[in-house]
């Protein structure tokens, strides 16, 4: 049995014709249960013959193939994608605490995502796309703080996406193809998400803007009117001020023709005769 391979860290059975369910024994891989914390550069050679070589492996992670060499000893991967596997995801798989890559896409798995999936704290890539998984997406997935790639697309998930915590780092493509899902980051609104809650602040802001505009124009108008009427009221209240003011204005007006005549006369005098 494969589970007896105590040093097995990478198992790639992708793109084969396997069917049936995942054996429960797959939750007992000893090297996958342990979190790999010490990097061992797998470099070999014979100085006598001046020959050296290094181990390398291509792993399908984050939706693309990547070659690992110098950090290969830290890679823990289980890839069963593109087969005809079915049944529910065994809860025993959540015992593989060292998993960095888990790819179960393009199969016929059904049922729910195990709640204990959040225990796989080392996961960098999780791909469960193109299956028949259903139910709600566990809120506990937001606890996978190392997760850099998440693909739950093309399943039968339903309910509101738990768009909080680390889940907010993923775009709509991670959840597309699930007709029952709603909420951010999808465009589909959930029942109970009312539009007026979104529009409320906008309406309030428009009202406040209009109020400020009206108050501005009103204050300008009042200020202009006050500037014109205030002197009139002050003069009207004190008769002596009124008589002095209008007497001064009248004297200025009467002297205007005299000043004009004086200026024209000066301009006609020969240069050098101005006194």
Using the 3D structure, point to which of 156, 182, 208 is the last residue of a domain: 182
Q: How many CB atoms lie within 10 A of CB 173?
A: 12
195-237 helix and 239-268 helix, angle to the nearest 10 degrees: 80
Does residue 101 register a pLDDT over 90? Answer: yes
Domain count across the chain: 2
Does residue 82 register a pLDDT over 90? Answer: yes
DSSP-derived 3-state class of residue 207: helix
**DSSP one-letter string for 257-275:** HHHHHHHHHHHHSPTT---
At residue 202, the pLDDT reads 46
Does residue 146 register a pLDDT over 80? Answer: yes
Could you report the per-residue pLDDT of 168-221, keeping only the tens digit for each?
Answer: 999 999 999 999 999 999 999 998 876 544 444 444 445 455 555 555 556 656
For 127, the domain range is 2-182
225 and 107 both lie in a single domain = no
Tell me the average pLDDT of the chain: 78
Q: Return the closest-CA partner of residue 174 out of 154, 152, 189, 156.
A: 152
223 and 146 both lie in a single domain = no
- Lowest-confidence pick of 31-40, 123-132, 183-192, 238-247: 238-247
81 and 121 both lie in a single domain = yes
Q: Is residue 187 part of a domain?
A: no
Using the 3D structure, point to which of 182, 205, 231 is the last residue of a domain: 182
Which CA distances in Å does 14 have to 60, 84, 114, 127?
9, 10, 22, 13
Does residue 47 register a pLDDT over 60? Answer: no
Residue 9 backbone dihedrals phi, psi, to 5 degrees: -110, -25
d(C-alpha 129, C-alpha 147), whole Å: 16
The position carrying tokens 């992708």 is: 14
214 and 174 both lie in a single domain = no
Which range in 88-97, 216-225, 255-264 is most confidently predicted, on average pLDDT? 88-97
Q: Is residue 189 part of a domain?
A: no
Residues belonging to the chain: 275
d(C-alpha 76, C-alpha 34), whole Å: 10
Q: How many CB atoms lie within 10 A of CB 178?
A: 21
Both tokens assigned to 140: 């506990």
At residue 199, the pLDDT reads 43
Does residue 63 register a pLDDT over 60? Answer: yes
Does residue 27 register a pLDDT over 90? Answer: no
Q: Is residue 131 part of a domain?
A: yes
CATH number, domain containing residue 178: 3.80.10.10
Residue 135 backbone dihedrals phi, psi, to 5 degrees: 85, -170
d(C-alpha 99, C-alpha 106), whole Å: 20
Report the pLDDT averaged over residues 49-57: 59
The answer, yes or no, to whether the previous bond of 185 is cis (omega within 30 of 0) is yes
Contact partners, residue 257, CB within 8 Å, separation at least 6? none
Q: Is residue 62 part of a domain?
A: yes
- Lowest-confidence pick of 13-27, 46-60, 65-79, 95-109: 46-60
CA terminus-to-terminus distance, the chain: 127
71 and 28 both lie in a single domain = yes
- Burial of 229 per CB tally in 10 Å (0-12, 13-18, 19+): exposed
114 and 215 both lie in a single domain = no
d(C-alpha 231, C-alpha 170), whole Å: 69
DSSP-derived 3-state class of residue 219: helix
175 and 200 both lie in a single domain = no
> ∠177-181-187 over CA atoms, to 5°?
80
């Amino acid at each position: 049995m494969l589970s007896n391979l105590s040093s097995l860290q990478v198992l790639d059975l992708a793109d084969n014709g396997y069917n049936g369910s995942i054996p429960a024994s797959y939750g007992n891989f000893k090297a996958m249960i342990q979190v790999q914390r010490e990097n061992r550069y797998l470099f070999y050679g014979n100085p006598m013959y001046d020959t050296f070589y290094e181990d390398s492996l291509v792993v399908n992670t984050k939706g693309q193939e990547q070659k690992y060499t110098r950090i290969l000893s830290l890679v823990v991967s289980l890839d069963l994608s593109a087969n005809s596997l079915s049944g529910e995801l065994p809860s025993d798989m959540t015992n593989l605490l060292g998993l960095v890559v888990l790819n179960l896409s393009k199969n016929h798995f059904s049922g729910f995502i195990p709640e204990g999936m959040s225990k796989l704290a080392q996961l960098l890539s999780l791909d469960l796309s193109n299956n028949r998984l259903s139910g709600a997406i566990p809120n506990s997935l937001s606890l996978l703080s190392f997760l850099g790639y998440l693909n739950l697309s093309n399943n039968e998930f339903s309910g509101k996406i738990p768009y909080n915590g680390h889940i907010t780092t993923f775009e709509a493509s991670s959840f597309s193809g699930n007709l029952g899902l709603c909420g951010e980051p999808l465009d589909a609104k959930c029942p109970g998400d009312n539009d007026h809650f979104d529009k409320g602040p906008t309406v309030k802001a428009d009202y406040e803007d209009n109020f400020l505009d009206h108050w501005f124009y009103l204050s300008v108008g009042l200020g202009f009117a006050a500037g014109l009427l205030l002197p009139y009221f002050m003069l009207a209240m004190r008769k002596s001020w009124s008589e002095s003011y209008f007497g001064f204005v009248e004297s200025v007006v009467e002297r205007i023709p005299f000043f004009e005549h004086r200026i024209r006369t000066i301009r006609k005098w020969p240069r050098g005769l101005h006194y």
